[in-house]
Structure formats: structure tokens, C-alpha cells
């Protein structure tokens, strides 16, 4: 704490956002402990909707799950009335975690430290030895249990995805997401029952915002991720685009099979060659030849009425819904300090899947996660930045690809959604 004070006292005069826009991002934003603290208060505990869990993970009465909002531990639990409740995983007495289990089923919660216990709505119900023993000790008569609860969250769901907010005056979730984002969550999750296929956590050696920038950065996808590009899962010259909501904080990047181009493929090979040449001319290594010994990895089944093969959707501040062919997952980003972030992956199938479809999902799960053919690099590139900027707090990132705006576009050779993130971030944190 002391060095935090010294640190900020010595540096604060430098800590001003460069200019009005979002084409420059100062590197101290990824390094400063005061900024980290401000984010927890103004973003995560402010007027934001944060991903908590999937409704199906807390299906039955008493089911609970331990999760996070920013770095604040939170419990989500289903009570007997069928409703979900969420409250801080922090005892109102002395601050210990209320539950140590990541998941479970319970009638109530009892803190291990002094056995203060809570019902499934987060209300303090019992204080051990409240009235003392044989008339001695105990809490004062003035102590009112109703005034001592962990902070409670507002909850809302979008297609079985549970979001929570510490704020009482946050706009309704649907309005917060906006129609374009909301309907694209529904496109993946709507009208069916998700099944958790697996979970794991990727520990990232970088600030959480570097991961969010990466998620929103459609410019890097076909350059850094050779696997993706080589098999034509994603080329910038495929049809597709990005959608950035008016706040800037939410985005969708998508690509689709260009049906017309596919039909003309045989007749018009020149067109294809032209696309390939765009990569060759840029001297990007993505044009190398590479064949799979077992191409079954890339076999997919038709899951959606449209021809969109990739949809990466993020909502402010820290939620990602991924569809890469038939690999569906949600990602929760949990800050763990200025330069540490946990990325929680939940891989999804659906109750309606056939065994063959389920196998395809398992195979395509190789594309994502810490060992993912296309996600592996995203785990390390944030660390490369964090280390690269170590002595450069006063320098700035250049985020000018595609101009200075934050608008949706058909081109993915743009950093509009990265700028969008910073637009929303600045508005929320007041910087």
C-alpha cells in the first residue's frame, strides 16, 4: 500500500490520456495500480453487466457456483422459488470467503471462520453465540442482522447466460447490449439447451485489457494465427465484417462462406488467385502450404441457418461468446492484478447434439484454449506486450488501422472495435 501511494504520487502528473480520441492508448493504463483499483470500483462494481455463469450450471434448487465480477468473488445460487440470486462471496463479519467450493448444492451457507450463516438469497440468518453463553459475551442488543449482509447483485439473463451487476441504476441488460449484440447471442444460444463439455482456466501473464484488445482485434487474426488462415477458416478477403455497438464496448467479428464466390470458384479461379496474392504481396507468412494428415479436425456440421462460420462476440467489460465452426465456448476474463489475468473457458455442446455432432465439437475444441491451434498465440501475445512496455509507461500504442472511428464495417482490416473498447472504457472510468 505504501509503495502504491509513493508510486502514484511520483507518477500521477504523467497520467493523462493523450488527446481526445482512442487512436493512442498510453501504456501506463496496463501498469498502474491506481488504475486497476479504479477499474474495480468504476467498471466492475459500477454500471456494468458482468458474465457470471450459465443458467444450466445452476439448474436445480440449491445449486450454486462461485464466480467473479472483476476480482470480487461472487456466489450465484438458485433458491427454492426457482430464482437465481447472487451476492459477494465475503462474510459480513470479518470478510472470509463464504464458500470455498467452486460448485455444489446447499440449503444455506456457513462461513467456516465463526459460523455466521446465510440463506440462499445472501441474508445473514445466524450468528454463532449471538446471545453469548450463560448471559455473558455475545453481540450487543443493538446488533441488527438485517443490516449485515454481503453486497447483493442484480441479475439478468440473455439466452441462458447469467449476467450480474452491483449497480442499482444500470440500464436493463437487453438495452445495455443493444439489439445487434443481443440477437447474435441468441443466434448461438437461443432455442436450445447448452451442455457443459469441459472447463479449464488459462493463466495469462498480462493485464486483462490486453486480452480484451486481442479479442476485439480482427486485424491480427489472419496474420498471427497461421493455422486459421492456411485452412481458409478465416481470410480477411472472405465475406464478413465487424459490428461495434454505439457505446463501443460490445462487438461482433464474423466471417462467412461467400456463397457466390464458392459457386464461381471453378469458373473463376483468377479471382481466388488475386485474393491469395494480397497475402503474398504483404509478405505475410500466412500463404504457406500446409496439409493436415487427418483433416477430420475441420469437418463441421451445419448448425445455423446462415453461412457464418465464425462469430466472436464480446460484451463490455469481460465476456466473450465464441462460435468457431462448431466449437462453441464462453470465456470469462478475471483480472488478478495489474499484470495477471485468468481466462475461464467453458466449452459448450447442446442437449440436442447427435453423438456424431458431439464428436465434431470435441475435435474442434482443439482449435481453442491454451493448446488451441488458433487460440494458443492469444495466450502469449498479451505477455509479449506486457513485457515489451515494461520501461515505456509514457509511450503509446498506435491504434489507427481503419481510421479513428468506432463504426461497424465490412472490412476486418480495422481496429475499430479495439477503439470501441477504449471509448467505452474511458466513458466508464472517467479518464
Partner 1 sequence: MTDVIGLLNHVQSAYARCIDNGNLEAWPDFFEEDCIYKITTADNYAQGLEAGVIFANTKGMLRDRVASLREANIYERHTYRHLLGQAWIVSQDAGEVRCETSFLVARIMRDGTTDVYATGRYIDVYRLNGTTPKLRERIVVCDSSRFDTLLALPL
Positions that interact with partner 1 (CB under 8 A): 102, 196-205, 224, 226-227, 230, 288, 290, 292-294, 296-297, 342, 347, 358-359, 361-363, 365-366, 369-371, 373, 376-377, 379-381, 383
How, if at all, do strands 341-350 and 327-335 pair? Answer: antiparallel
Closest separation in Å from C-beta 196 to partner 1: 6
Tell me how crowded residue 262 is: count the other CB atoms within 10 A of its CB: 10
SS3 state of residue 209: helix
Nearer to partner 1, 334 or 424 (CB): 334
Nearer to partner 1, 28 or 64 (CB): 64
Nearer to partner 1, 312 or 334 (CB): 334
The Cα 127–Cα 138 span in angstroms is 9
Q: Which three cell numbers stand for residue 221?
A: 487474426
Closest separation in Å from C-beta 290 to partner 1: 6
8 Å CB contact between 205 and 221: no
Closest separation in Å from C-beta 324 to partner 1: 14
Nearer to partner 1, 273 or 288 (CB): 288
Closest separation in Å from C-beta 222 to partner 1: 12
8 Å CB contact between 65 and 58: yes
Nearer to partner 1, 16 or 359 (CB): 359
Nearer to partner 1, 30 or 227 (CB): 227
Closest separation in Å from C-beta 175 to partner 1: 34
Long-range interactions of 109-116: CB distance < 8 A, separation 24+: 109/64, 109/75, 116/91, 116/92
The Cα 431–Cα 26 span in angstroms is 12
Cell numbers 445473514: residue: 124
Q: Which of 361, 360, 378 is nearest to 369 (CA)?
A: 378
Nearer to partner 1, 95 or 198 (CB): 198
Closest separation in Å from C-beta 230 to partner 1: 7
How, if at all, do strands 63-69 and 103-105 pair? Answer: antiparallel
SS3 state of residue 319: strand
Closest separation in Å from C-beta 336 to partner 1: 11
Nearer to partner 1, 282 or 288 (CB): 288
SS3 state of residue 315: strand
SS3 state of residue 206: coil
The Cα 77–Cα 73 span in angstroms is 13
According to DSSP, the residues that pair with 342 across neighbouring strands are: 203, 334
The Cα 259–Cα 261 span in angstroms is 5
Tell me how crowded residue 395 is: count the other CB atoms within 10 A of its CB: 13
Nearer to partner 1, 370 or 405 (CB): 370
What Rg value do the Cα atoms of the chain yield, rounded? 24
Nearer to partner 1, 375 or 406 (CB): 375
Nearer to partner 1, 82 or 355 (CB): 355
Closest separation in Å from C-beta 335 to partner 1: 15
Closest separation in Å from C-beta 341 to partner 1: 11
Closest separation in Å from C-beta 377 to partner 1: 5
Alpha helix positions (H), 178-239: 179-189, 208-216, 221-224, 226-230
Q: Which of 273, 287, 301, 310 is nearest to 358 (CA)?
A: 301
Sorted by sequence, the CB contacts under 8 Å of residue 62 that are 6+ apart come out as: 77, 78, 105, 106, 107, 120
Closest separation in Å from C-beta 268 to partner 1: 29
Amino acid at each position: 500500500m505504501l509503495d502504491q501511494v509513493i508510486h502514484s504520487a511520483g507518477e500521477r502528473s504523467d497520467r493523462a490520456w493523450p488527446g481526445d480520441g482512442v487512436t493512442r492508448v498510453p501504456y501506463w493504463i496496463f501498469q498502474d495500480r491506481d488504475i486497476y483499483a479504479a477499474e474495480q470500483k468504476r467498471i466492475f462494481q459500477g454500471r456494468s453487466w458482468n458474465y457470471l455463469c450459465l443458467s444450466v450450471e445452476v439448474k436445480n434448487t440449491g445449486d450454486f457456483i462461485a464466480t467473479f465480477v472483476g476480482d470480487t468473488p461472487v456466489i450465484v445460487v438458485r433458491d427454492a422459488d426457482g430464482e437465481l440470486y447472487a451476492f459477494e462471496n465475503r462474510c459480513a463479519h470479518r470478510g472470509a470467503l463464504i464458500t470455498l467450493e467452486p460448485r455444489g448444492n446447499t440449503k444455506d451457507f456457513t462461513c467456516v471462520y465463526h459460523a455466521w450463516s446465510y440463506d440462499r438469497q445472501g441474508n445473514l440468518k445466524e450468528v454463532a453465540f449471538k446471545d453469548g453463553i450463560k448471559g455473558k459475551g455475545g453481540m450487543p442488543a443493538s446488533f441488527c442482522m438485517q443490516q449485515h449482509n454481503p453486497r447483493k447483485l442484480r441479475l439478468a439473463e440473455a439466452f441462458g447466460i447469467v449476467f450480474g451487476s452491483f449497480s442499482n441504476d444500470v440500464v436493463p441488460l437487453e438495452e445495455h447490449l443493444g439489439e445487434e449484440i443481443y440477437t447474435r447471442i441468441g443466434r448461438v444460444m437461443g432455442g436450445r439447451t447448452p451442455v457443459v463439455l469441459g472447463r479449464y482456466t488459462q493463466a495469462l501473464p498480462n493485464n486483462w485489457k490486453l486480452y480484451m484488445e486481442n479479442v476485439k482485434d480482427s486485424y491480427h487474426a489472419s496474420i498471427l494465427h497461421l493455422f486459421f488462415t492456411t485452412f481458409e477458416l478465416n481470410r480477411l478477403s472472405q465475406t464478413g465484417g465487424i459490428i461495434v455497438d454505439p457505446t463501443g464496448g460490445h462487438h461482433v467479428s464474423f466471417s462467412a462462406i461467400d456463397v457466390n464466390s464458392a459457386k464461381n470458384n471453378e469458373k473463376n479461379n483468377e479471382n481466388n488467385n488475386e485474393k491469395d496474392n494480397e497475402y503474398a504481396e504483404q509478405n505475410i507468412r500466412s500463404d504457406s502450404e500446409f496439409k493436415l494428415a487427418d483433416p477430420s479436425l475441420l469437418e463441421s456440421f451445419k448448425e445455423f441457418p446462415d453461412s457464418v462460420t465464425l462469430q466472436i462476440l464480446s460484451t463490455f467489460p469481460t465476456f466473450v461468446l465464441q462460435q468457431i465452426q462448431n466449437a462453441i465456448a464462453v470465456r470469462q476474463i478475471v483480472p488478478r492484478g495489474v499484470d495477471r489475468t485468468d481466462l475461464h473457458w467453458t466449452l459448450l455442446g447442446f442437449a440436442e447434439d447427435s453423438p456424431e455432432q458431439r464428436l465434431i465439437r470435441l475435435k474442434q475444441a482443439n482449435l481453442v484454449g491454451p493448446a488451441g491451434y488458433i487460440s494458443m498465440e492469444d495466450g502469449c501475445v498479451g505477455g509479449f506486450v506486457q513485457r515489451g512496455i515494461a520501461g515505456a509507461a509514457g509511450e503509446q500504442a498506435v491504434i489507427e488501422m481503419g481510421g479513428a472511428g468506432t463504426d461497424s464495417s465490412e472490412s476486418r482490416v480495422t481496429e475499430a472495435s479495439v477503439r470501441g473498447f477504449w471509448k467505452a472504457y474511458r466513458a466508464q472510468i472517467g479518464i
